């Protein structure tokens, strides 16, 4: 059995946020059948996992591999909820993550999402706006599923990326597993930005009727956004700076790595910084320099009592598994389900405004509906109507 456990998966993420490591893993829980918070949108959700091969480059993180392979997962509004409900993680990968974390394998394997595998996409004349999701350093794509599937239920096609040899484990067709090499975070960041460019090119092929059946003409790639947790948020910032066709970006509690955080690296696209207690311009110098670089619409919001790991699905699952979540990551005093409800609301509002041109008052001022969310640098009163 591999010795890297789930706590270390989160340590890899926390390293990019300069947070303190969690305590050792707890004993296995016993509850089975944990559930993620339900999507809030009007549409049923479909999902499909896709194996992509970039034969234009050897793998930067594992040079012995002559090509770079990725697994991505498309989440989208479905015309009807047909097909089996998708698992939170592929079977073998889920069991390995659980076992290495001193949890019973069935705990992770029995978690189900709101997505229906292979359900037909809800067809739209001009196609759907597209949002990319990149997880924290060392984390699998699954850890952002609550917000990802929520966006899909509200009419977005969301593409969650597993960054191979960065993520703790990635499962490929046939059950092949590839594990993290615990890469240097700067090399990992450059690799992620290249991954994003490759995925965008493959999405254009999918939209033209290749790779995945049924998506022809359904991806409006002129309206593409990106968000991510921790290193994934930094990836969004750097992908935009690299000139990739991403219209807007959102960072969930991540330090911003260079070059995006270098002084004078100007960015004109809308960008939202949404963080917890340890990511503010006062405490994280990379937030301050990146804020100064932003020349488009910008906001910095904070979620009171939220820790770094509260910006992932892990807290709600660990609570249901019957283990102490504080032993597995940096969680705050906020209830995990509440932290995710806040993210569902604000992530959707941001992309609805920046990709669908639907102005969202929630982004203009504090809301009485979400008193935990504070606006940095805006001298405005809360509105009870939001």
Residue 2 pLDDT level (bands cut at 50, 70, 90): very low
The pLDDT, as a whole number, for residue 27 is 42
What confidence tens digit (pLDDT) does each residue in 212-254 have?
A: 999 999 999 999 999 999 999 999 999 999 999 999 999 999 9
273 is a domain residue:
yes
The answer, yes or no, to whether residue 19 has pLDDT greater than 70, is no
The pLDDT, as a whole number, for residue 30 is 52
Residue 377 pLDDT level (bands cut at 50, 70, 90): confident
The answer, yes or no, to whether residue 26 has pLDDT greater than 60, is no
Residue 286 pLDDT level (bands cut at 50, 70, 90): very high
What confidence tens digit (pLDDT) does each residue in 178-190 have?
A: 999 999 999 999 9
The pTM of this model reads 0.92
Give the torsion sign (CA, 229, 232, 236, 237): positive
- d(CA 37, CA 339) in angstroms, rounded, equals 11
The pLDDT, as a whole number, for residue 118 is 97
90 is a domain residue:
yes
The pLDDT, as a whole number, for residue 378 is 63
Over residues 290-303, the mean pLDDT reads 97
222 is a domain residue:
yes
Q: Over the chain, what is the mean pLDDT?
A: 91
What confidence tens digit (pLDDT) does each residue in 131-144 have?
A: 999 999 999 999 99
293 is a domain residue:
yes
CA neighbor of 34 nearest in space, from 106, 142, 102, 136: 106
365 is a domain residue:
no
Percentage of the chain surpassing pLDDT 70?
Answer: 89
Output the six-digit token pair for 200.
């965008």
The pLDDT, as a whole number, for residue 23 is 35
Domain that residue 32 falls in: 6-336
What confidence tens digit (pLDDT) does each residue in 147-162 have?
A: 999 999 999 999 999 9
For the ranges 94-108, 132-146, 345-359, which has the lowest average pLDDT? 94-108
The pLDDT, as a whole number, for residue 38 is 97
- d(CA 23, CA 25) in angstroms, rounded, equals 7
Surface-to-core class of residue 318, CB atoms within 10 Å of its CB (0-12 exposed, 13-18 middle, 19+ buried): buried
329 is a domain residue:
yes
Residue 25 pLDDT level (bands cut at 50, 70, 90): very low
Whether the Cβ atoms of residue 251 and residue 350 lie closer than 8 Å to each other? no
What confidence tens digit (pLDDT) does each residue in 297-348 have?
A: 999 999 999 999 999 999 999 999 999 999 999 999 999 999 999 999 999 9
98 is a domain residue:
yes
Whether the Cβ atoms of residue 125 and residue 318 lie closer than 8 Å to each other? no
| Tally of structural domains, the chain | 1
CA neighbor of 299 nearest in space, from 286, 308, 290: 290
Over residues 40-65, the mean pLDDT reads 97
376 is a domain residue:
no
Domain containing residue 255: CATH number: 3.40.50.1820
Q: Which residues contact 335 (CB under 8 A, 6 or more apart)?
A: none
């Amino acid at each position: 059995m591999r010795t890297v456990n789930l706590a270390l998966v989160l340590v890899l993420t926390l390293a990019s946020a300069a947070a303190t490591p969690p305590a050792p893993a707890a004993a296995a829980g016993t509850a089975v059948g944990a559930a993620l918070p339900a999507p809030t949108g009007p549409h049923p959700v479909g999902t499909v996992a896709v194996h992509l091969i970039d034969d234009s480059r050897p793998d930067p993180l594992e040079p012995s591999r002559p090509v770079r392979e990725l697994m991505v997962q498309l989440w989208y509004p479905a015309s009807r909820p047909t097909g089996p409900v998708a698992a939170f993680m592929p079977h073998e990968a889920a069991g390995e993550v659980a076992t290495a974390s001193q949890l019973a394998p069935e705990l992770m394997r029995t978690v189900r999402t709101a997505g229906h595998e292979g359900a037909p996409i809800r067809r739209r004349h001009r196609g759907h706006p597209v949002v990319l999701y990149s997880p924290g350093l060392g984390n699998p794509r699954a850890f952002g599923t609550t917000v990802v599937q929520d966006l899909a239920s509200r009419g977005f096609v969301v593409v969650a990326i597993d960054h191979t040899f960065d993520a703790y484990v990635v499962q490929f067709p046939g059950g092949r597993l590839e594990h993290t090499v615990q890469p240097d975070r700067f090399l990992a960041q450059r690799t992620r930005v290249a991954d994003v460019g490759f995925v965008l090119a493959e999405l254009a092929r999918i939209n033209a009727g290749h790779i995945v059946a049924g998506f022809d003409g359904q991806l409006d790639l002129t309206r593409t956004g990106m968000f991510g947790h921790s290193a994934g948020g930094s990836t969004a910032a750097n992908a935009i700076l690299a000139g990739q066709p991403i219209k807007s970006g959102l960072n969930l509690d991540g330090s911003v790595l260079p070059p995006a955080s270098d002084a004078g690296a100007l960015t004109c696209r809308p960008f939202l910084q949404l963080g917890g207690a340890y990511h503010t311009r006062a405490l994280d110098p990379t937030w301050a320099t990146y804020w100064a670089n932003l020349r488009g619409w910008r906001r910095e919001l904070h979620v009171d009592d939220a820790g770094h790991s509260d910006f992932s699905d892990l807290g709600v699952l660990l609570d249901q598994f019957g283990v102490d979540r504080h032993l597995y990551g940096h969680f705050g005093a906020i209830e995990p389900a509440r932290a995710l409800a806040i993210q569902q609301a604000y992530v959707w509002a941001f992309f609805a405004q920046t990709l669908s041109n639907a102005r969202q008052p929630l982004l203009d001022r504090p809301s009485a509906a979400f008193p935990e969310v504070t606006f940095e640098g805006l001298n405005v009163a809360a509105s009870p109507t939001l």
